Structure 1
Amino acid sequence: MALKSFRGNLERMFDKNLSDLVRGIRNNKENEAKYIAQCIEEIKQELRQENLSVKATAVAKLTYLQMLGYDMNWAGFNIIEVMSSSKFIYKRIGYLASSQCFNSDTELLMLTTNMIRKDLNSQNQYDAGLALSALSCFISPDLARDLANDIMTLLTSTKPYLRKKAVLMMYKVFLRFPEALRPAFPRLKEKLEDPDAGVQSAAVNVVCELARKNPKNYLSLAPIFFKLMTTSTNNWMLIKIIKLFGALTPLEPRLGKKLIEPLTNLIHSTSAMSLLYECINTVIAVLISISSGMPNHSASIQLCVQKLRILIEDSDQNLKYLGLLAMSKILKSHPKSVQSHKDLVLQCLDDKDESIRLRALDLLYGMVSKKTLMEIVKKLMIHMDKAEGTSYRDELLTKIVDICSQNNYQFITNFQWYISVLVDLTKMEGTQYGSLVATQMLDVAIRVQAIRNFAVQQMALLLENASLLTQPGSKMVDVLYAAAWICGEFANELVDPVSTLDAMLTGRGNTLPGHIQAVYVQNILKVFSILLSKASSKLTVKKHCDKVIDGLKQYICSADLEVQERASSATHLVITICDDIVTNDVEISLMAAEVNMLFVGELNPVAPKAQRKVQIPEGLDLDIWINNPPSSSSSSSEDGEEKKISFEADISLQGKQKEGRSNFICNDEDLHKVNEARKLEQAMNPHYLKSEHLTTDIPVAAIDLPIPLSIPGLSGSKKFDRHKKDERKNKRKRNKHKNNTSSSETDNIVIEVNRGKGEMPEGALDSDGKESLQSDDQHDPHKALDINLDEPLREEEKLPLPEHRFPLFTNSKLSNKKDMAEDDLEDFSVNNHKSKKNKKKLNKEDKVKKHKQSSSKRKKNKKTTADELVRFKDGYEEALGISTPSKETVCLSSQIKVTRLAYNKILALDYYLRPYNSDSNQILICLQCRNFCESTIRELEANISHSSDINIVNESGEIQHFIKLCCILNAGETKDNDLIIQVNDVTTCHKLRGTVSYIQQTTNGTCQEKLDFCITVGVTAFLSKSMPLGDSFTDLLSSGNLIHCSSISLKPIIPRDFNQILNLVSTQCHLRIIDQLDSAASLFSQSTSGNRICLLMKSKSSHISVEARSDSESLMASLLDEIMINFAT
């Protein structure tokens, strides 16, 4: 034996350990993958050996390789084997590997339950600590359920090391097994006052994390945390507690008044910036919540703002960012306190950190007033000129627009200035928000009637100088869309409509995007109508008509079909007008009036959600086919004829199009102009290869109109800055009399602005943005932890304890009979949890008692009895501690009752009901479709009959009569479909009828079948066992609110025990057992509509009487009918 051990140790001297592996990887950089593959093969050989030390070394090397990205899931069994070692040095390697390799979905975790339990109960505290640390990385719902009691036991350990780890581990248990929160909460609450500071900090951390998502459940802990906050010197724990108070204060405003003084003292005394920031954050939350009840809080606000100014002025970028973030919170409730620090916020715009600049921009949005608007926008424009990078420049542009347009231009007093700012923004290079500037120009022109004249003149100048906006580097071409629309819609404000018309006709309009060309064409007609009304002679009309017809030719050749259609229609319209006036001698004024009628009507602002609010007209079904699709059985000859006809039609259509276009572009003069323009463009293009490389060929002198550096007449925001300075000088020279008038053009005039939300479709209501949206956190584990912790713990909520399995004695007839009785009871009802648990305990006590009596008769000494009990224990525990988890404790009251809905030889429909919203009239139905035949079923669709009382709705609450269940259902396959049922009255029983249609795919073809069904939704689906807080059963009965009463008698054909019937009624009808005495019991339930019902069940010699009292007669009658139907037979 010694020789064998020596041989093993000698062989291991030449094995590669972890250090050799790391050294070898570093020495084989060129062939790293090949070397690691070789090492993995060696590791696999080592894992096959029986020596646990070799296996542990191999697992350690695998752990390192897993950090490099290599998979080690294949070694799961070996990792568990190393974890089960009795030596701590090996156990540590195994648990480290498991924490990296395993996750909550690993199937091998079922083998680790008892092994981890054994380590948790170990006398060595480091074994238990190791198990807790690793378990937190891969705990699953099953492990959390099975080990919750063992971890809770460690909360009362005498060793602070284990108590601290157990407290932290409980948070992971709560996330995976929320049912453990209520039983464990009293012990967790005790740890808040633990004498050890580490345990106390851990408990504070866990409670704060739990309260982060559900703070209302932890209001009862406020006194304990207030005591900790005023006595603790641990800054980290103070930060956690103060964060918790920030979440609790909005729920209990009285708490905020007590927090102001200690928080203010902390702000004055602390030197820790992190604690200072959290104190300020909580003070802000407190002052917001108690602003109505505590008017004298300006001193606290000023203190917070002064401290935040210190943070913002700090050189640390993180503190500066946090200071700006907290300042933005104060700005929402106390803007005047922050506006005095405008200079500091503007300085942050020069910071090198972009995140700080963006945060400062957000602050400026709320600091704007009528007096400071122009100054702030001027600063932002200067920063925009200096800004580097398009993203920050775009952010500045959007922020300028947001600041000026907030609350429908609330702070703008001079709209000429704002139009000038928008014009200045069009000159900025590299911005991607031309459409945003265009939208603002349109909105201002529509809303502010007094500014239209100025806006039209500025837009006309932009159209005449459109080449500046169509340069290759410019992104502001969308501004031309707004300019053309404004000049056309308000053409009567144009000073020189002829120049504007020439700008839209003779420019390079065909190079613009299609949507801008379309607006050009439409507004050319509007400007033409103004010129037509001003024309005094036929010669003038003929001149204008010819100009428009010639100018529209370039748009007829556009690649955009919309532009082609508009230009063609406009051309024919102008030709008709010209012929009527010139040839048919129609009066110019009469024709001008008819043309102007095309554009009559004032355009008002449109609400942002107007399109979504358009109601569907009656009789319009958006789901039916407009044209029925062609049948698949049509012959190929018919298809060939159709293709031939369509092909000939396409040829004829193309020919007509070519003929139509030839009237405009196929003459020699136009072709010559196009060729000359093309040659000139090629000659001006430096990237185009010319045939001759002479600089004299470059036609520099041929440019008649050089691009000016500035557009004459175009306004700018700098002009208004100069006027503002002049006004300040004039104010100083003015006399005290207020009769003097200023000659300045930019004096502020009271301008009427349409600040409405905009027009909505007829019959639509504005929802103010409060649309029903589904929560994105459907799978958030914190939602299941929203539990009332103040209620006393019920019997069924206690955590299950692991139980020993004693062997059954074959010679005990009594025990066999009891087992058979228990089986019968389980067959009758799977819901009688409490009585079954009590009977199990009695059976176990009887078995142990009988065994002790028999053993004492045989040997008459205590030693034999002790040996027998030890033998039972040995049969329960296994050698390595590896076994399947303890038996799952099933909550019998939550088992689902599946009901057969309809069936035939092909398809079966089953359903069961589940709660959807506890406080609504909706319930979830799971419809199971099962294919019985050997062929495939496809296109399963449900057609629901119309009913005013019960319907199927979608998540938005819209009624659905036609529902697609599943596309394909293979042979023997079952698929579930979740549907939402909504009823108008939850106090009566409803029936939902419908038909399921499907197509069966067989070898002979397809056949369509139907299956009718009827779903019964009783009142029990909307009942809840919860008793309202503050109410008692006795007070409810004596209040006199339950004015309706009735009774029934249950006479079961099969004799049943009263307790069995009671538990069945309680479980299936969602009734809460309030009290039970011998053969009588009182029950309670409440509907989602708030109606309450109380029952009294009494067992009599021949029947069971059920008496009911309720505040709703329909609810009471419907419930008694359901009880009679389900339990009378």
Structure 2
Amino acid sequence: PFLSVLVSFSLFGSGIFWKDFSSKGATMNSLFRKTLLDMVRGIRANKGEESAFINERIAEIKEELKSPQNDVKSNAIEKLIYLQMLGYQIDFAAFNVIEVMNTPAFSTKRIGYLGCSQSFREDTSVMLLTTNLFKKDMTGQGGGALATSATLSQYESGLALSCLSNICTKELAQDLAGDVVSLLTSSKAYVRKKAILCLYKIFLRFPKALRPSFPRLKEKLEDPDMMVVSSSVNVICELARKNPKNYLGLAPLFFRLLTASTNNWMLIKIVKLFGALTPLEKRLGKKLVEPLSNIINNTSATSLLYECINTCIIGLSDHVEIIRLCISKLRALVEDPDQNLKYLGLLALHKIMATHPKAITEHRELVIKCLDGEDVSIRSRALDLLTGMVTKRNLIAVIGQLMTRLETAEADYSDQLVAKIVAMCSQDNYSLITDFEWYLSILVELTHIKGTAHGRLISNQLLDVTVRVKAIRTIAVGHMVSLLGDTRILGDTSIGSTIQEVLYAAAFITGEYAELVEDPYTVLEALLAEGGVFLPPNIQAVFMQNALKIIAFVAGQVDPEGGEEDEEFNDEYLLDMLDLAKEALPKFICSVHIEVQERACLLLETVNELEVTVEEKNTGLGLSLSALFDTILNPVAARAQRKVPVPEGLDLDREINPRPEGEDDDEEFTSDFWRNQASIFGGVDDLAQLAPAESPAGGYGSGLAEALASKGGSAAKKSYSPFILSGSNEARDFGKEEAGGYVDPDHKVEELPSEMMSGLMG
């Protein structure tokens, strides 16, 4: 026999499988069975080929599952559990798992229950077969001869209860709720504890079991074993999170536990429960002041301390003394080098800020120090807390601290600082700001931050403050002129940067308050600079609009007699501006963005007409243009429209001008209509030629019908329309064929005659 064993080990080491050494083949066969440890070693040894190796092992496992020996099956299930943790499906072994669960030996039964907990789901086909197994093992009847020991029986019950907690379905909960409740009277504290915890999962799946079971659960709060009491507290605490009002009657019992227990874990749960109950019963908060104060002062467990503070914040905010005690303890947490405790301290201070802002403001310097930490989450939390600490007195000092940190902050943190600076200054409708010139300078400084993602936010603030506060408009215009010429802003095209959005505000402010601009020519030069074509289209469009405002303002100031009072803006100055505009606008007219193109065309046509009137010493057009923008745009409250009373009998669906009976929708679009449009747009005969022939019905004639048939749908309508720019190939081609000519795309815009530009302006 010794030789046989020796040979077997030698052959095994060589990779040869020995199947039958002697009459005791089963015993010897167990020596060569690959265990979980062997499989793990094999997976590590086959790097790069793990999938192939595992597939081979799965094939071997499937053969092992066919064995009648329970230890062979349990070994196979053990390996499958490991493979399931690696992501492999083991549903094919569900029935074999139940077989192993039903074995009498505790060592194999435990493996079966573990496999069931890991792999069974609600849709597992053999789930219903587990019901009787749970019943037998929970009552200690499933272990056979090996379950005679009471100690072993309680652990089998524990196996069943733990597994049921993991895989509990509505059907299992309904069938086994009574069996689990009966275990609450077990003589073994271990079983009672497990049964209480299992009941929570049963209540979630089958809520109807809660009402008849609750008296038994309540009794366990006075169990002689503290672990059973702790389990009961844990379950009731979790149930109370869903509906705390139902558990308000247990407050006296929990209060006794709070004052008598020394188990920190149970105290944490009780304190959490009181945190849910105190908002429902204000008198309860007064009772809790003394015991919670004692715990806060004496406990060394940080977790319990934090839960007590959190409960005080929730339900005892009216008791100033205990809140001040909490703040002092939280200060110690914030000063602690442990980053987790520091974060929790800041988080709790932020909660107290809502009810006791003055008490928190005293610790402003401590919070500011947290802004220099390495942990981003702590800095963010400190910023949130600092936002609520600012007052009229300390706003300038706090913003100064934040501006100093902006210089060295990384990109993400820099964006947070910018957002918080604006939020602090603009909160409560700028109620904290006493010097708007200072705030304007802060906003201008923020525009110098490269790569910021809050360009639009800064732009909106510049617009809002300038429009609302008349006293700073002169200073604001000076700052905006500088921004328009700032090459750093124009050249900032980094990914995620929106700083160019501030040019929107700069253009609007200089154009809207053009009378405050010292040198309109310089502003116009900045608005029409060559680099403007690389800006976002919405900003280009605003540049065009406000360039028109600048020109209109100067045109309105020119004195036709050349008097001394207007010698600052004379004909020569205006003509220089017009020449600048004519030279710069073609590149904007060629823009691919329709709004930019439209506004540039409008501006160029206005410049051409204005140039003619200036040369003729006629100020009529200049005064008319200036009058368009004389009215100052005032801010409108966000809810102003709501204050306008709705007139009685208002029907928004009724036509304002009812159409006469029998009138066709297309009657207005006759040749007379097109001729009128031609006169409006400069008297160009080509527009009249585009009019379709009138039909007897007064609608569109055969000309349009033929065009629709040849060109199809909306494209033909566009080609007929005088309101479509010549950028469309179809419109251009159709205009060439039907109207007798079209705009040459290679033709320079500045050389186009006035009447052709009128056509473009349509």
Scaled by the length of structure 1, the TM-score of the pair is 0.54
Deviation of 1:136 after TM superposition, in Å, equals 1.4
Deviation of 1:300 after TM superposition, in Å, equals 2.2
1:685-744 C-alpha deviation (Å, 9 max, x unpaired) = xxxxxxxxxxxxxxxxxxxxxxxxxxxxxxxxxxxxxxxxxxxxxxxxxxxxxxxxxxxx
| Secondary structure in 2 matching 1:50 | coil
Deviation of 1:8 after TM superposition, in Å, equals 2.9
Q: Give the match for residue 102 of structure 1.
A: 120
Do residues 359 (structure 1) and 381 (structure 2) align? Answer: yes
Deviation of 1:355 after TM superposition, in Å, equals 0.9
Q: Is the 8 A contact 1:103 1:137 kept in 2?
A: no
* Pairing partner for 1:120 from 109, 130, 138: 138
Deviation of 1:140 after TM superposition, in Å, equals 0.9
Do residues 664 (structure 1) and 693 (structure 2) align? Answer: no
Structure 2 CA distance, aligned partners of 1:27 and 1:548? 77
* Pairing partner for 1:168 from 177, 185, 197: 197
Do residues 131 (structure 1) and 160 (structure 2) align? Answer: yes
Residue 646 and residue 328 in structure 1: after superposition, are their counterparts in 2 closer, same or farther (change >3 A)?
closer
Q: Which has the higher contact order (CA 8 A, sep 6+)?
A: 1
2:46 is aligned with what amino acid? Answer: N
Q: Give the match for residue 157 of structure 1.
A: 186
Which structure is higher in helix share? 2
Do residues 274 (structure 1) and 303 (structure 2) align? Answer: yes
1:901-951 C-alpha deviation (Å, 9 max, x unpaired) = xxxxxxxxxxxxxxxxxxxxxxxxxxxxxxxxxxxxxxxxxxxxxxxxxxx
Q: Give the match for residue 49 of structure 1.
A: 67
| Secondary structure in 1 matching 2:499 | coil
Structure 1 CA distance, aligned partners of 2:627 and 2:707? 51
Do residues 372 (structure 1) and 372 (structure 2) align? Answer: no
Do residues 216 (structure 1) and 245 (structure 2) align? Answer: yes
* Pairing partner for 1:492 from 515, 522, 531: 515
Q: Give the match for residue 744 of structure 1.
A: none
Structure 2 CA distance, aligned partners of 1:5 and 1:287? 79
Do residues 479 (structure 1) and 502 (structure 2) align? Answer: yes
Deviation of 1:423 after TM superposition, in Å, equals 0.8
Residue 483 and residue 59 in structure 1: after superposition, are their counterparts in 2 closer, same or farther (change >3 A)?
same
Residue 107 and residue 619 in structure 1: after superposition, are their counterparts in 2 closer, same or farther (change >3 A)?
farther
Q: Is the 8 A contact 2:296 2:308 kept in 1?
A: yes
Deviation of 1:147 after TM superposition, in Å, equals 1.0
2:433 is aligned with what amino acid? Answer: I
Identity among equivalent pairs (%): 48
Residue 575 and residue 14 in structure 1: after superposition, are their counterparts in 2 closer, same or farther (change >3 A)?
same
Q: Is the 8 A contact 2:480 2:510 kept in 1?
A: yes
Structure 1 CA distance, aligned partners of 2:175 and 2:62? 33
Where in structure 2 are there 5+ consecutive unaligned residues?
Answer: 1-20, 142-152, 561-570, 656-664, 667-705, 720-727, 736-741, 753-762
Q: Give the match for residue 22 of structure 1.
A: 40
Structure 2 CA distance, aligned partners of 1:640 and 1:72? 67
Residue 218 and residue 620 in structure 1: after superposition, are their counterparts in 2 closer, same or farther (change >3 A)?
farther
Q: Counterparts of 1:815-830 in structure 2 under 5 Å?
A: none
Q: Counterparts of 1:827-838 in structure 2 under 5 Å?
A: none
Structure 2 CA distance, aligned partners of 1:644 and 1:172? 65
1:827-876 C-alpha deviation (Å, 9 max, x unpaired) = xxxxxxxxxxxxxxxxxxxxxxxxxxxxxxxxxxxxxxxxxxxxxxxxxx
Q: Give the match for residue 653 of structure 2.
A: 619
2:604 is aligned with what amino acid? Answer: T
1:198 is aligned with what amino acid? Answer: M
Deviation of 1:260 after TM superposition, in Å, equals 0.9
Residue 554 and residue 165 in structure 1: after superposition, are their counterparts in 2 closer, same or farther (change >3 A)?
same
Q: Give the match for residue 680 of structure 2.
A: none
Q: Give the match for residue 690 of structure 1.
A: none
Deviation of 1:352 after TM superposition, in Å, equals 1.2
| More moved, 302-311 vs 551-560 | 551-560
2:731 is aligned with what amino acid? Answer: L
Q: Give the match for residue 197 of structure 1.
A: 226
Residue 666 and residue 93 in structure 1: after superposition, are their counterparts in 2 closer, same or farther (change >3 A)?
farther
Do residues 437 (structure 1) and 482 (structure 2) align? Answer: no
Structure 2 CA distance, aligned partners of 1:573 and 1:5? 112
Q: Give the match for residue 573 of structure 1.
A: 606
Q: Give the match for residue 229 of structure 1.
A: 258
Structure 2 CA distance, aligned partners of 1:370 and 1:23? 69
* Pairing partner for 2:541 from 518, 522, 534: 518
Which structure is higher in strand share? 1
Deviation of 1:5 after TM superposition, in Å, equals 9.4
Structure 2 CA distance, aligned partners of 1:31 and 1:566? 67
Q: Give the match for residue 579 of structure 2.
A: 546
Structure 2 CA distance, aligned partners of 1:597 and 1:609? 25
2:653 is aligned with what amino acid? Answer: G
1:430 is aligned with what amino acid? Answer: G
Structure 2 CA distance, aligned partners of 1:208 and 1:265? 22
| Secondary structure in 1 matching 2:559 | coil
Scaled by the length of structure 2, the TM-score of the pair is 0.79
Residue 91 and residue 644 in structure 1: after superposition, are their counterparts in 2 closer, same or farther (change >3 A)?
closer
Structure 2 CA distance, aligned partners of 1:381 and 1:467? 19
Residue 666 and residue 153 in structure 1: after superposition, are their counterparts in 2 closer, same or farther (change >3 A)?
farther
Q: Give the match for residue 470 of structure 2.
A: 449
Q: Is the 8 A contact 1:466 1:480 kept in 2?
A: no
Q: Give the match for residue 587 of structure 1.
A: 619
| Secondary structure in 2 matching 1:271 | coil
Structure 2 CA distance, aligned partners of 1:105 and 1:140? 10
Q: Is the 8 A contact 2:120 2:167 kept in 1?
A: yes
Q: Give the match for residue 109 of structure 2.
A: 91
Structure 1 CA distance, aligned partners of 2:748 and 2:277? 79
Q: Give the match for residue 561 of structure 1.
A: 594
Do residues 407 (structure 1) and 428 (structure 2) align? Answer: yes
Q: Give the match for residue 633 of structure 2.
A: 602
Q: Is the 8 A contact 1:301 1:337 kept in 2?
A: no
1:309-360 C-alpha deviation (Å, 9 max, x unpaired) = 1111111111111111111111111111111111111111111111111111
Q: Is the 8 A contact 2:180 2:195 kept in 1?
A: yes
Deviation of 1:530 after TM superposition, in Å, equals 1.4
| More moved, 79-88 vs 649-658 | 649-658
Q: Is the 8 A contact 1:456 1:493 kept in 2?
A: yes
1:92 is aligned with what amino acid? Answer: R
Q: Give the match for residue 1013 of structure 1.
A: none
Q: Counterparts of 1:645-794 in structure 2 under 5 Å?
A: 646=715, 649=719, 651=729, 653-654=731-732, 658-659=743-744, 662-664=747-749
Q: Counterparts of 1:860-875 in structure 2 under 5 Å?
A: none
Deviation of 1:362 after TM superposition, in Å, equals 0.7
Deviation of 1:519 after TM superposition, in Å, equals 0.6
| Secondary structure in 2 matching 1:382 | helix
2:479 is aligned with what amino acid? Answer: Q
Where in structure 1 are there 5+ consecutive unaligned residues?
Answer: 292-296, 628-636, 668-1129
Structure 2 CA distance, aligned partners of 1:599 and 1:138? 76
Q: Give the match for residue 311 of structure 1.
A: 333
Residue 638 and residue 544 in structure 1: after superposition, are their counterparts in 2 closer, same or farther (change >3 A)?
closer
Q: Is the 8 A contact 1:464 1:499 kept in 2?
A: no
1:1009-1043 C-alpha deviation (Å, 9 max, x unpaired) = xxxxxxxxxxxxxxxxxxxxxxxxxxxxxxxxxxx
Q: Give the match for residue 955 of structure 1.
A: none
Residue 665 and residue 125 in structure 1: after superposition, are their counterparts in 2 closer, same or farther (change >3 A)?
farther
2:335 is aligned with what amino acid? Answer: E
1:532 is aligned with what amino acid? Answer: A
Q: Counterparts of 1:256-335 in structure 2 under 5 Å?
A: 256-288=285-317, 291=318, 297-335=319-357
Structure 2 CA distance, aligned partners of 1:87 and 1:447? 84
Q: Is the 8 A contact 1:188 1:203 kept in 2?
A: yes
* Pairing partner for 1:35 from 50, 53, 56: 53
Structure 1 CA distance, aligned partners of 2:575 and 2:270? 84
1:136 is aligned with what amino acid? Answer: S
Do residues 81 (structure 1) and 72 (structure 2) align? Answer: no
Give the root-mean-square deviation of aligned CA atoms: 3.0
Q: Is the 8 A contact 1:446 1:605 kept in 2?
A: no
Q: Is the 8 A contact 2:35 2:75 kept in 1?
A: yes
